[in-house]
Structure 1
Amino acid sequence: MRLDRFLAETTDLTRSLAKKALHRGEVSVDGEVVKNPAIQLGEANRVRWRGQPLALVGLRYVMLHKPAGVECTSRRTLYPRAVDLIDLPKAERLQPVGRLDVETTGLVLLSDDGQWSHRVTAPRRRCGKVYRVTLAEPLEGPALAAAQACFAEGLLLDGEAKPTRPAELAMREPRVAAVTLHEGKYHQVRRMFAAIGNHVVALHREAVGPLTLGDLPEGEWRALSEAEVAAF
């Protein structure tokens, strides 16, 4: 890796600011001041900036209990971002592994490991995601049976060329449902209930695959264990 890129990866410096720091003699490699931004570093090289040792950040895997009013996006908008709640170096490099809309709460995974993220989200891997859904109207009796059949068979949503993949619908209370999806279309749960004539009042993701929020408070995050990462 080039030295200027290494500095940009391990500090708040941009590549251009890294070159200026090098020109000022602020960077040393293995104890020697280096000003050439193009030198290639190996794993054994030790780099310091202003006397502080630098090290590359490894791959991170994080679970967040997302509150309402937070967006799962990399760009800055009117809302705070999920990554803004993560207190880690270079947190902006973490990408949501399957997004929730701004008003939906619950479990969000974030990582800077693209291959792992793909394993979690790829529909063919059938990683189930469980949602608690609060409905405007109760769903019982024949209407519930019809809805369960529609979810199991797949629904053709507005603007989609293919029906949804089979999903599971169960009722916990007359107006509280549990839905398990194996894909992640845009606003899918809300659109599926709209397609059967109901309206989602509140939506909360409880689980992704084997992972649940447990006692993680809303707005808080934690790193995944090695076993949790390997579960996917």
Structure 2
Amino acid sequence: MRLDKYLSHATGLSRKDIQRLLKKGAVTVNDEIIRSGAVQIDSEQDEICFEDQPIDAPATRYLMLNKPEGFVCANDDSTHPTVLSLIDLPRAEELIICGRLDIDTTGLVLITSDGQWAHRITSPKHKTGKCYEVTTADPIPESAIRKFERGMMLQNDKQRTQPAELRLLSEHQAEVILTEGRYHQVKRMFAALGNRVTQLHRRSIGPVTLDPELAPGEYRMLTDEEVERLG
């Protein structure tokens, strides 16, 4: 890893500030003053000090967020606020969002600095189930259960959806479990039935369920157990 990137992640300082401090000789690697941020370091073996104080390796971050309406799952957007703007942590803008929720969809979003972990969660090969709570404009017929199980041809798609589980909760409410994430998939599946989704909330991803203590817009770090169960 580049020294400037390591220091930025570990301290929360900007790259510009890091460069200024490097030029002042405030950073040492194995007791040698280093003035170039491009130097490659081994965070497991090298001893990195900033103003004579050891710098611990940047901690990998794993978070769950209760996404509110009106926010987009993107690192940057010129029109709408992003979910990363809700994260009050150093270098939050560099975190990875594990999958997407529509601007009007609420619920569980996973965010991390671990690219490989994020890939395992979002890759279709791993078939990580995602559970959604759905409210519809019209009653949901029992026949929809079988249609979800068989997979459906959606408009403009060339292949049927993967088998999905539909659990009826009431006339207008259901749980849907998907193992893929096509564009607006839940909404499009109900549209194919002649129905319309009025509310959509993601409750869980794989074995991890949204913490009921988190209000919309709030987040917390995942526990070690949750990270392992997802990874």
TM-score, normalised via structure 1 length = 0.86
Q: C-alpha separation between the residues in 2 aligned to 1:121 and 1:195?
A: 25
Structure-1 residue corresponding to 2:176? 179
Structure-2 residue corresponding to 1:99? 100
Q: How does 1:116-155 map to 2 (within 5 A)?
A: 116-139=117-140, 144-155=141-152
Quote the offset at 1:53 in angstroms. 5.3
Structure-2 residue corresponding to 1:205? 202
Shift in alpha-carbon separation, 1:33–1:99, aligned structure 2, 3 A: same
Match of 2:158 among 158, 161, 165: 161
Q: C-alpha separation between the residues in 1 aligned to 2:135 and 2:27?
A: 56
Matched, 1:193 2:200: no
Quote the offset at 1:192 in angstroms. 0.6
Aligned length: 226
Deviation track 1:10-67 (CA, whole Å, cap 9, x = no partner) reads: 44322x6543432244434466654344444343322215x76544422211111111
**Are the counterparts in 1 of residues 6 and 58 from structure 2 also a CA contact under 8 Å?**
no
Structure 2: segments with no counterpart, 5+ residues = none
**Are the counterparts in 2 of residues 7 and 13 from structure 1 also a CA contact under 8 Å?**
no
**Are the counterparts in 2 of residues 27 and 47 from structure 1 also a CA contact under 8 Å?**
yes
Q: C-alpha separation between the residues in 2 aligned to 1:113 and 1:38?
A: 22
SS at match of 1:173: coil
**Are the counterparts in 2 of residues 151 and 168 from structure 1 also a CA contact under 8 Å?**
yes
Shift in alpha-carbon separation, 1:150–1:89, aligned structure 2, 3 A: same
Q: Which runs of 4+ in 1 moved over 4 A?
A: 28-33
**Are the counterparts in 1 of residues 29 and 46 from structure 2 also a CA contact under 8 Å?**
no
Matched, 1:66 2:56: no
Shift in alpha-carbon separation, 1:4–1:112, aligned structure 2, 3 A: closer
Matched, 1:221 2:219: yes
Q: C-alpha separation between the residues in 2 aligned to 1:154 and 1:217?
A: 34
Structure-1 residue corresponding to 2:111? 110
Identity of aligned residues (%): 42
Structure-2 residue corresponding to 1:47? 49
Read off the aligned partner of 2:110 and give its amino acid letter: L
SS at match of 2:142: helix
Shift in alpha-carbon separation, 1:137–1:39, aligned structure 2, 3 A: closer
Q: C-alpha separation between the residues in 2 aligned to 1:53 and 1:13?
A: 19
SS at match of 2:14: coil
Deviation track 1:39-96 (CA, whole Å, cap 9, x = no partner) reads: 44343322215x7654442221111111111111112332221122122222222212
Q: C-alpha separation between the residues in 2 aligned to 1:183 and 1:131?
A: 12
Shift in alpha-carbon separation, 1:152–1:117, aligned structure 2, 3 A: same
SS at match of 1:183: coil
Deviation track 1:130-183 (CA, whole Å, cap 9, x = no partner) reads: 1111101112xxxx2332221111111122111110111122111111111111
Q: C-alpha separation between the residues in 2 aligned to 1:210 and 1:76?
A: 30
Matched, 1:83 2:81: no
SS at match of 2:188: helix
**Are the counterparts in 2 of residues 3 and 40 from structure 1 also a CA contact under 8 Å?**
yes
Q: C-alpha separation between the residues in 1 aligned to 2:116 and 2:156?
A: 29
Pairwise CA RMSD: 2.3
